Structure 1
């Protein structure tokens, strides 16, 4: 994981607000390595989602350089799959048709679309629900469908904005493990935004802590825990030590700045 997959080079983002300019992110410099899982944490207003949306190409940055594979980002692209907290599934399409949607835009024929969609539905444990409609699925199943849809178009980068935030605790833990299991097979680069410190530590190689007002890099915390991760890791003293380090970086700093 030596080469940079995503590079922020003194990136700033400002928005007009009440006749003035509001700076959401200021001079962010950061490399996310190829095949790495990075989680991004920080207090509300620190620019976590703004940073991810800029990488996704959903909004332009105001200054600096933002690169994927050494090339400037100039809009959305099939190399970057985006998964939001709200599943954004098409309710009138079946689970399989939802996963096939992006493949249809890529021009794949029906047989190839079906084969690839079913492959990823098996990967996330939804093969038996391929012909079901989203309204019949639980929240966790809907999110697994969204993950399968993002994977199916074969992006080299997964951008995940609090994808498990609306789920119950047990489902959330299961999907964290499923994400890591899937990552172990294909080693995609993952940028994962969360408010949950335990989640941030459990799935990441590194935790990126942002400070607020304006959003800026505060600290990068290495998660020196072995893969595969499991319940034994969650309950280990080493996990607790890193978790407490991240918690202090986010919440004690936030309290002192308040």
Structure 2
């Protein structure tokens, strides 16, 4: 079976004064259809670069990135991208923000409304559909951004630390909301995070990256059932996997200068 996303010996170098900086060096990874994969690693390991190449926002220096067996040549409606910043239009309501991408796709008004309402319901914002972003909490704004990505019906969701700026309680609540949404309306998800607990709680597999140059250090299976619950988060098996991921990340991180 063809993987949904494939990174094959991907190298990415950026020009810097006096030479170049290699952000990724020979990264290879296959992600299956409807699989939820998280990526963790020390700062500078190329996590966001990997995601940006899958999104078509950055081209590899060498190697190839494929979606459904086709080379990624640029952004496309088959891939929805969600960043840490909400990037909502402040003058548009939740509903109008979610409909924005559908307007660009030139869908009929009735179909736009149907898709937007479905996406808003998925993320639990139905009663706030006519609210402006300034009246929403940070977590609700991020749920709106997720609904906007879902509304255009992408096969792939690429999420770059979407909960990184939120407080701990809101972050946990949004993790549960995201998994509920994913369980109802499956997508292939590539999710970047610095949080090891978040990586284990969400994923079927955790990809641990190493830095300088960026590369895939190890891939750890998360053999925990869905739906994920607080009981699972507190279970000995969760703790064992979390410790395995943590030690893989910690031993790859460069020591701080003394």
Number of corresponding residues: 257
Residue 253 of structure 1 deviates from its aligned partner by 2.4
Residue 59 of structure 1 deviates from its aligned partner by 1.1
1:29 paired residue number: 28
Deviates more, 1:105-114 or 1:209-218: 105-114
* Residue 6 in structure 1 maps to residue 5 in structure 2: yes
Deviations 1:116-167 (A, max 9, x none): 1111111111111111111111000000000000000000000000001111
Distance in structure 2 (CA, Å) of the matches to 1:152 and 1:255? 41
1:148 paired residue number: 147
2:177 paired residue number: 178
Residue 65 of structure 1 deviates from its aligned partner by 1.2
Distance in structure 1 (CA, Å) of the matches to 2:216 and 2:204? 17
Residue 212 of structure 1 deviates from its aligned partner by 0.3
Structure 2 gaps, min length 5: none
Residue 111 of structure 1 deviates from its aligned partner by 2.0
1:50 paired residue number: 49
Aligned CA-pair RMSD: 1.2
Structure 1 gaps, min length 5: none
* 1:64 counterpart SS class: strand
Distance in structure 2 (CA, Å) of the matches to 1:21 and 1:256? 23
Within a 5 Å distance, the mapping from 1:183-194 to structure 2 comes to 183-194=182-193
Residue 257 of structure 1 deviates from its aligned partner by 9.7
Distance 1:110 1:225, change over 3 A: same
2:78 paired residue number: 79
TM-score, normalised with respect to structure 1: 0.97
* 2:219 counterpart SS class: strand
